[in-house]
Structure 1
């Protein structure tokens, strides 16, 4: 069982979210937290005016709270702020949210008792997951509504999913043999003032999108072979003369995937001068999406190791500082960038599907049907891809440019970072389907080139796809087959098979 001391890595967050990894609070973290708590206690004893400790919240920052009401203030904060709506976040998102909030508090700059973090970790270890609605955050002052729902079970309120059953917070605690916490000054505010809802969505998305992006290179390589496109645009000199990191990585992947191609050798002397952009510019388009993913990953590495509370409690100086670390803009911008990046991976994949299904472009049978007319082949799969990429274009509208003031204009600029994260996630889900359609189309097209073999990496991908989806010799129900291909992408299974043949892709 790892100790929560330094920030967890992004991979540890994913493992915790999707498994049963449990954490304990380290002694060093406990000592740091105690030092921060002492700063809060001194401020209370001195009668100092401290936001959220001896005052109300937001527009009520000028309302003084009497010492005998500070516990009630913290409880009221959680109850009043838990007004999220919409479908609940997936369990994996809630687990990531709990770990990330615990990690931020454990840094010792939020002024809460170690007991608060220990209780969060206890719920996480027990598989007791607060029910957290996914809508209602404006991303500053942090993810107030989602985090309030996450925190309610600590005080015996809200709802908890435990062993497949949704219980009241009080009943869940009773089953676990835990007493509800009575929150002390600052603790309710510390639980809700942060970016952990958007961070949780984005950490999981970042992990999944890295797999999707490399698999998109595999799908593109299959389409290149299916359409007998030139391999020359992926040569070393091309990206050396325009060395964006993502483009260089994608070009290297394509060279590895296409190596040893009999198909390429078969059309070495053809009269085609140039291929369509969706084939010729794969390194430049896929690579730009890779660079956007790297932008998000760098931002998340900083965020996971950060303190996003307000006010900040600084034991080193004894200060309590009201500032803006809760603001989600550092994540909202890369989330929007990744939404666009994933939409573009789907866009160009759909164009390659059209290239393969259109006989005027491919030189292959129309819609890759064996007997066109009687059979429609993969005709409607392109319709579905077109629908999904059109939906993505709407979802890719940047949420971060739309700030609506809240709290009577006290909070006059907000990030909408959680909306950006949720939109990016939905685009990812749509992109999985589009890539599944491209894989199905490319495998079908490759069948028409047999006995010529594609490059080694493409050959490995083709074999794994054909283990799930046989050649389409007549019309049949295709949705279950596309679902299986989608899962091959999502799980990373297809990528693992290809990498076992050609080595790790970049």
Structure 2
């Protein structure tokens, strides 16, 4: 089984049809149909530019003509010439339909809390634009082009992270996005947080006046939870791979039993992801003189070593599920009402309900919590003198110095916090809009909590790597596998050998930053997978 991989140099040399060449740069063309997570990596991590597919623009224009016809003929259609939510039965006069959109955006822009990271804000804009490019939302071409231009100029809305119920769309967060199109609110630009209007004046951009339906089309959708979800997935995928690598180092430091990774064991159970993790572990320990055979030093290892393929494999199963749902949602029409069948049919429905992504985010945070859970147990085996033959807590002077004793406490604390955060947000629902919207998903809350779980789990992985490196050095780094020696050499440039007690908080933060940043150069490192190769950058 081949797990999804990041873009490689070959991918850029032979771009798919959804890429265009413009001004010497590759540009990802949006059409509302086939946006991928790999392309989102390029857009959000590399600030890749986006374009608009001409065929999809034809559909955008056609749906707009339908909206203008509805307004001209005076037909009553939700969101075009009516109020919203419980106020959907209130008819709005023709001369007020533009003002209706202005009031909608301003009144709904009531998010609170710390802003989403700029990367999430950029992802929200891309996903909202991709949804509008399906041609079901009735916005003008000027709206989609404005979103495109803001993305390409790297003008990103400041969007508060709290305030969405995850049904009726991510109304509050997306309203803050929509404000920026109107020249209101705040943006991130060139490393600063600035009033939107100041940036518009600097860049000679005119604010848009939203027309009938456009305000609703911009805020009815799941783009906040999905944007956070996409960033979460990318971070979690990387973390899961890192945990496989770090676990292989711990296995060698503890002279673990290689028989537990025999391919026949995993084929006997049949989970493809479990088999891939076992294969990866075999590859990572290949050539090691530290791993043992069953009966050589002990008959069986503890579960935190023996069951790495079973536990990590189950995490990869969840990641595959999450990836599938996110990919569908990234290309979904989540507006209401939708202009379907070439604009001939206008139907109110509930595609804005975030339940699929709410479930996916809850599954994700449970899975990543387990990565941290089992990693913390390996940390305990590395530092507990009752469970190994190392000096207590890997200290160079036990008694006078505490070594890595309290580092394990920190891992335990983070794991415990994750157990609280992993409580599913999707099981909660609070009615809103005078009980018209009487069931909501809380998907954005689940996505935000998943972010926190991933951040905590990354720190636990950093702690395991610090402890594992120290133990491996005591065991004899020269006896480890070649891949493990390479990892050890790279990581030692981040956190040097522990010769005496020091402020380990600095080490944990530096290692965590390395794991979340420079641990892998995706164009040079490969995961081990069926039919693939492994290349290690030894620079």
TM-score scaled by structure 1? Answer: 0.96
Mean CA deviation greater in 145-154 or 10-19: 10-19
Tell me by how many angstroms 1:264 deviates.
Answer: 2.2
Mean CA deviation greater in 164-173 or 417-426: 164-173
CA shift in 2, pair 1:78/1:451, >3 Å: closer
Is the CA contact (8 Å cut-off) linking 2:59 and 2:342 kept in structure 1? no
Tell me by how many angstroms 1:150 deviates.
Answer: 0.5
Q: Does 1:253 align with 2:284?
A: no
Provide the rounded CA distance (Å) in 2 between the counterparts of 1:88 and 1:196: 15
SS in structure 1 at match of 2:475: coil
**1:69-148 alignment, distance < 5 Å:** 69-148=96-175
Provide the rounded CA distance (Å) in 1 between the counterparts of 2:130 and 2:526: 34
Q: Report the equivalent of 1:455.
A: 481
Q: Report the equivalent of 2:17.
A: none
Deviations 1:416-471 (A, max 9, x none): 11111110011111111100110011111112222661223222212222232222
Greater percentage in helix: 1
CA shift in 2, pair 1:320/1:262, >3 Å: same
Tell me by how many angstroms 1:269 deviates.
Answer: 5.0
Provide the rounded CA distance (Å) in 2 between the counterparts of 1:133 and 1:407: 21
SS in structure 2 at match of 1:447: helix
Tell me by how many angstroms 1:271 deviates.
Answer: 4.6
Mean CA deviation greater in 235-244 or 140-149: 235-244
Provide the rounded CA distance (Å) in 1 between the counterparts of 2:275 and 2:73: 60
Is the CA contact (8 Å cut-off) linking 2:312 and 2:371 kept in structure 1? yes
Q: Report the equivalent of 2:534.
A: 503
SS in structure 1 at match of 2:187: strand
Provide the rounded CA distance (Å) in 2 between the counterparts of 1:464 and 1:131: 36
Tell me by how many angstroms 1:72 deviates.
Answer: 0.5
SS in structure 2 at match of 1:374: coil
SS in structure 2 at match of 1:407: coil
Tell me by how many angstroms 1:13 deviates.
Answer: 1.7
2:510 to 472, 484, 495: 484
CA shift in 2, pair 1:283/1:311, >3 Å: same
Mean CA deviation greater in 238-247 or 278-287: 238-247
SS in structure 2 at match of 1:160: strand
Q: Report the equivalent of 1:30.
A: 57
Provide the rounded CA distance (Å) in 2 between the counterparts of 1:504 and 1:209: 22
**1:210-221 alignment, distance < 5 Å:** 210-221=237-248
Q: Report the equivalent of 2:191.
A: 164
Tell me by how many angstroms 1:288 deviates.
Answer: 0.9
Q: Report the equivalent of 1:472.
A: 498
Q: Report the equivalent of 2:83.
A: 56
Is the CA contact (8 Å cut-off) linking 2:394 and 2:471 kept in structure 1? yes
Is the CA contact (8 Å cut-off) linking 2:369 and 2:418 kept in structure 1? yes
CA shift in 2, pair 1:411/1:504, >3 Å: farther
Is the CA contact (8 Å cut-off) linking 1:52 and 1:189 kept in structure 2? yes
**1:182-197 alignment, distance < 5 Å:** 182-197=209-224
Deviations 1:269-326 (A, max 9, x none): 5351211111111111111111111111000111111111010111436011101111
1:304 to 320, 323, 330: 330
Deviations 1:346-386 (A, max 9, x none): 01000000011001111211101121011111111101101
Q: Report the equivalent of 2:66.
A: 39
1:427 to 442, 453, 465: 453
Provide the rounded CA distance (Å) in 1 between the counterparts of 2:342 and 2:42: 34
Mean CA deviation greater in 312-321 or 399-408: 312-321
Q: Report the equivalent of 2:426.
A: 400
What residue ranges of structure 1 are gaps of 5+ in the alignment?
none
SS in structure 2 at match of 1:360: coil
CA shift in 2, pair 1:69/1:112, >3 Å: same
Is the CA contact (8 Å cut-off) linking 1:39 and 1:315 kept in structure 2? no
CA shift in 2, pair 1:371/1:503, >3 Å: same
Deviation >4 Å, runs of 4+: 494-502
SS in structure 2 at match of 1:362: coil
Is the CA contact (8 Å cut-off) linking 2:35 and 2:327 kept in structure 1? no
Deviations 1:218-241 (A, max 9, x none): 111111111111111111111111
Mean CA deviation greater in 34-43 or 423-432: 34-43
Tell me by how many angstroms 1:205 deviates.
Answer: 1.3
Provide the rounded CA distance (Å) in 2 between the counterparts of 1:172 and 1:441: 48
Deviations 1:156-205 (A, max 9, x none): 22122222333333332222212221111110000000111111111111
Is the CA contact (8 Å cut-off) linking 1:55 and 1:65 kept in structure 2? yes
Is the CA contact (8 Å cut-off) linking 2:127 and 2:227 kept in structure 1? yes
Is the CA contact (8 Å cut-off) linking 2:280 and 2:527 kept in structure 1? no
1:222 to 249, 253, 261: 249
What residue ranges of structure 2 are gaps of 5+ in the alignment?
1-26
Q: Report the equivalent of 1:281.
A: 307
**1:316-335 alignment, distance < 5 Å:** 316=342, 318-335=344-361
Is the CA contact (8 Å cut-off) linking 1:36 and 1:109 kept in structure 2? yes
**1:371-410 alignment, distance < 5 Å:** 371-410=397-436
CA shift in 2, pair 1:165/1:445, >3 Å: closer
SS in structure 2 at match of 1:209: helix
